[in-house]
Amino acid sequence: MKNCFRNTIMKKAILTLLIIANLFVIQAQPFSPINYTPNFKQIEIDADKCTIQLYVSPSGNDSWTGKNLSKMGNDGPFLTLERAKDEVRKLKHKHLPKGGIAINLLGGIYSQSKSFELINEDSGSEDAPIIYKAWKEEDVRLIGGKKLASTDIKPVTKSEILARINPIAKGKIFQFETKALGINHTANFPDIFSDGGGIFEIFFNGKRLPLSRWPDEGYTTMKEVVTVGDNKTPGTFIYQDSTPVGNWDKNNNIWLKGFWRVGWENPAIKVATIDIEKKQITFKAGVQAGIGSKYNRPKGSGKEQWYAINLLEEITKPGEWAIDFNTGIVYFWPPSDINNADILVSQLDQPIITVNNAANLAFIGLKLEGSLGDGIVISKSNHNLVAGCTFRNLGGRGVVLDGEKSGIQSCDMYGIGRGCIVISGGNKLKLTESGNYVINNHLHDYGVLKSQYSAAVDLYSDNKNLDAVGIYVAHNLIHHAPRDGVLFAGQKNVFEFNEIHRCAYASADVGAFYSWLDWTIRGIVIRYNYIHNTVGGVNPDDGSSGTFVYGNIFSGNRTGVWIASGPDHTIQNNIFIKNEGPVFGMDDRGRGRGYATNKKLLSGVNNINSSAEPWSVTFPEMPTLLNSHPELPLRTQFVGNVVWIKKGDATSIKMSKENKIDTNLIRIDGNLVSDKDPGFIDAKGGNLNLRITSPVYEKIKGFPKIKFDKIGLYIDKFRKKLPSAEESGRLPDQNPWKDNDTDTYFGT
């Protein structure tokens, strides 16, 4: 009897161990990219179902109860968000009602002199969220700036200032005194900077006014480098004969902004001296590796682009302005009548809203604008939603989100000083997915102040210590930016049904999707996106690895896929439409540049313990990666793609002879290359769905039916209508390449 009992226990124990082992195996399956979707769930919010409704109004009163929509006797809405937050805390202290609490903001302006901060104490729960929302879709503006009245602005009267004004602008320049108006952030620009320089901005009727510059559009170039310099020694160069330095002799605060060395760095640097006789400009500060094209040392190429900023003498168009740092006086040419204008000067240098270690919060239908800082920053938080909001005219980013099970949905972001969305979450070591998502957002005209490495969606992050695992980015419309559409990194992230166009017109080494120098980037799925009329397509740069590029449509002279010596990339079943090839390129630069001993690449792999689970099972190539020449583009595949080009080769393989024939490095197979339309329903009319009778399906077995009409934005409860062609940046006159760019280069 005892033995029977003992055997039964042992059988149960063994069975339990087998079940646990099987569960573990299921959890640690190798990554299969074609149908993979991160483990996320969209947050469903219905503020009408909230048990308690509170109200806030610009004409409210914080001594009232906030329970009435309008003033009734001695009661009505609150005046401030802070008072509403305090009321929520009181209600929570008693009992958080099932269904949650909605804080309804009535239309109007809410001026924020400091961040609206929410912490763990302000959290809701899954069945009782706390929702901050616009009431009935009214125009709710949270601004981080100071509004100016027309009486704050005066005509210029001082003769010495009038003498410096360009003849084109005579009688049209006005001024206001920042010190008298209590306007902050007026200190000198730093000697060298790559963003807005820390000073305020001016917004006129909702549009950012540009700092004065010469030339008005585009760039001039250096003529020749005299002193290359370095980070300690300032550089000197000879300027072009057309440079109007003679007009700048009374100005001792001159900064020049330019691509002094490479096409992906453009700092502004203060001028120390101008020698008119020698036609030389010497900087006050040095820059790392000096000035002059790194490919044409020591004299430079004569093509290094630059322009001058913040010169009173160069205010030559309506809207331009400049500040005299010595007096704090701002001079500007109003674009229209100032008497009825909405004039805003940004002041808040913190996020308008911050959320730290809080959960189950939602922000719906709000407009955040006119700040030097970010819109919303959410950190170490979970199950939060930002939806249907507008972020515009900010000096920083739109939304920065680090946490779990949170989403950014159906928002509009434009006029953003840096990038639109920075998102992170999950655990890289354990490959635990974050459950975060970025869906149905319209992201455009960003990177206004910091043009380089400012993306619409950024998983790379300013803080490299943050992980990005299991993030879903879909159905976004991204356009008109000086550099990247998406900066990708991390593991098991999916980007699908996004449209990206007219980006990267002011940079080099760039992509609609771009990553850099990381062998631990794995499980990146880029599928069913429409990438067109932009510079670069998918560009994993300098050894970046692990992308699966599938079922996308690439169109335009400067669009394609370039693999810069990184391992484990598959480019499969995509459509490429170009006048001239190539559409795909790769190189083996890693050997010549020493990637095999690169500290960043090596430490990334060593820090994850790639020989142990879950990494060793989920990505079985990782345990042996460092022993198999990862400095080369191992296991690169370009297979089953449709290439419609009028001339040229479809591929450009810039590798040594022995590497070109190494089957462990490259497989190019089964591609359909033709100068004929592959069977689109209406290519000229913009319908790139393939007909069911297209020969593609016969010649490339298993080619997916790409649902072209599903790509991009859609209508949901937060996005009530789709943008027009003009709002989407698709009109011919919205092409940033005014000179009809015909370059076909898209690599790095």
User: In 37-166, where do the E strands start and end?
Assistant: 52-56, 101-105, 108-111, 116-118, 130-134, 140-143, 145-148, 154-155
What per-residue confidence (pLDDT) applies to 18? 40
- Band of the pLDDT at 563, cuts 50, 70, 90? very high
Decide: residue 154, CB within 10 A, 0-12 exposed, 13-18 middle, 19+ buried: exposed
Q: Are residues 136 and 194 in the same domain?
A: no
Q: Are residues 161 and 223 in the same domain?
A: no
Q: Which residue has the higher pLDDT, 746 or 384?
A: 384
What per-residue confidence (pLDDT) applies to 693? 96
Pair 291, 300: CB distance under 8 Å: yes
Q: Are residues 98 and 132 in the same domain?
A: yes
Decide: residue 491, CB within 10 A, 0-12 exposed, 13-18 middle, 19+ buried: buried
Average pLDDT, whole number, for the chain? 93
What per-residue confidence (pLDDT) applies to 98? 87
What's the DSSP call for residue 396?
S
Asked whether residue 358 is assigned to any structural domain, the reply reads no
What's the DSSP call for residue 349?
-
Which tokens in the block code for residue 80?
């401030």
Number of domains the chain contains: 4
Question: In the block, which residue shows the tokens 């016969």?
Answer: 698
Q: Are residues 530 and 655 in the same domain?
A: yes
Asked whether residue 603 is assigned to any structural domain, the reply reads yes
Please give the backbone phi and psi of residue 81, each rounded to the nearest 5 degrees, phi first: -65, -35
Element (H, E) at 20: helix 2-27
Nearest to 558 by CA among 744, 345, 312: 744
Q: Are residues 557 and 525 in the same domain?
A: yes
Neighbouring C-alpha atoms within 13 Å toward the C-beta of 102: 21
Q: Are residues 157 and 92 in the same domain?
A: no
Asked whether residue 388 is assigned to any structural domain, the reply reads no
Q: Are residues 282 and 252 in the same domain?
A: yes
Asked whether residue 375 is assigned to any structural domain, the reply reads no
Which tokens in the block code for residue 162?
């009038």
Give me Rg for the CA atoms of the chain: 28
Which tokens in the block code for residue 691?
């007909």
Q: Is the pLDDT of residue 546 over 50?
A: yes
Can you list the alpha helix ranges (DSSP code H) found in 319-453?
Answer: none
Chain centroid, CA 332 distance in Å: 30
Decide: residue 397, CB within 10 A, 0-12 exposed, 13-18 middle, 19+ buried: buried
Q: Rounded to whole angstroms, what are the CA distances from 598 to 542, 594, 607?
A: 11, 6, 14
Query: Across residues 379-390, what is the average pLDDT?
Result: 97
What per-residue confidence (pLDDT) applies to 508? 78
d(CA 416, CA 140): 19
d(CA 148, CA 174): 13
What's the DSSP call for residue 128?
B
Chain centroid, CA 70 distance in Å: 40
CATH for 297: 2.40.30
Chain centroid, CA 240 distance in Å: 35
**Cis, peptide link before residue 167, omega less than 30° from 0:** no
pLDDT tens-digit readout, 473-530: 999 999 999 999 999 999 999 999 999 999 988 787 788 999 999 999 999 999 999 9
Please give the backbone phi and psi of residue 223, each rounded to the nearest 5 degrees, phi first: -90, -45
Most confident residue range from 215-219, 553-557, 572-576, 732-736: 572-576
Q: Are residues 101 and 62 in the same domain?
A: yes
Residue-range definition of the domain harbouring residue 325: 147-212+315-344
Residue type, 114: K
Residues making up the chain, counted from first to last: 748
Q: Is the pLDDT of residue 130 over 50?
A: yes
**Residues forming beta bridges with residue 638, ordered by sequence position:** 571, 668
What per-residue confidence (pLDDT) applies to 5? 41
Pair 198, 189: CB distance under 8 Å: yes
| Pair type for strands 101-105 and 130-134 | parallel
Last residue of a domain, one of 140, 171, 200: 140
d(CA 139, CA 182): 27
Q: Are residues 198 and 245 in the same domain?
A: no
Last residue of a domain, one of 140, 158, 185: 140
Question: In the block, which residue shows the tokens 């330095």?
Answer: 245
pLDDT tens-digit readout, 671-716: 999 999 999 999 999 999 999 999 999 999 999 999 999 999 999 9
Asked whether residue 627 is assigned to any structural domain, the reply reads yes
Q: Rounded to whole angstroms, what are the CA distances from 138 to 85, 133, 195, 394?
A: 21, 10, 33, 21
Q: Are residues 111 and 161 in the same domain?
A: no
Q: Are residues 99 and 113 in the same domain?
A: yes
d(CA 578, CA 591): 31
Question: In the block, which residue shows the tokens 């039964």?
Answer: 8
Percent of the chain's residues with pLDDT above 70: 95
3-state secondary structure of 651: strand
Q: Is the pLDDT of residue 39 over 70?
A: yes
Last residue of a domain, one of 309, 332, 358: 309
Element (H, E) at 666: strand 666-669
Asked whether residue 21 is assigned to any structural domain, the reply reads no
d(CA 198, CA 196): 6
pLDDT tens-digit readout, 349-378: 999 999 999 999 999 999 999 999 999 999
Q: Are residues 164 and 281 in the same domain?
A: no
Residue 112: other Cβ atoms inside 10 A? 21
What per-residue confidence (pLDDT) applies to 36? 94
Q: Is the pLDDT of residue 211 over 80?
A: yes
Pair 366, 142: CB distance under 8 Å: yes
**In sequence order, what are the residues at sequence separation of 6 or more whose Cβ sits closer than 8 angstroms to the Cβ of residue 718?**
364, 365, 387, 388, 409, 410, 440
> The whole model's pTM is what?
0.93
pLDDT tens-digit readout, 275-321: 999 999 999 999 999 999 999 999 999 999 999 999 999 999 999 99
Residue 519: other Cβ atoms inside 10 A? 26
Asked whether residue 283 is assigned to any structural domain, the reply reads yes
Asked whether residue 391 is assigned to any structural domain, the reply reads no
- Band of the pLDDT at 729, cuts 50, 70, 90? very high
- Band of the pLDDT at 2, cuts 50, 70, 90? very low
Decide: residue 738, CB within 10 A, 0-12 exposed, 13-18 middle, 19+ buried: exposed
Please give the backbone phi and psi of residue 523, each rounded to the nearest 5 degrees, phi first: 65, 35
Buried b / exposed e over 276-297, threshold 16 CB at 10 Å, is: eeebbbbbebbbebbbbbeeee
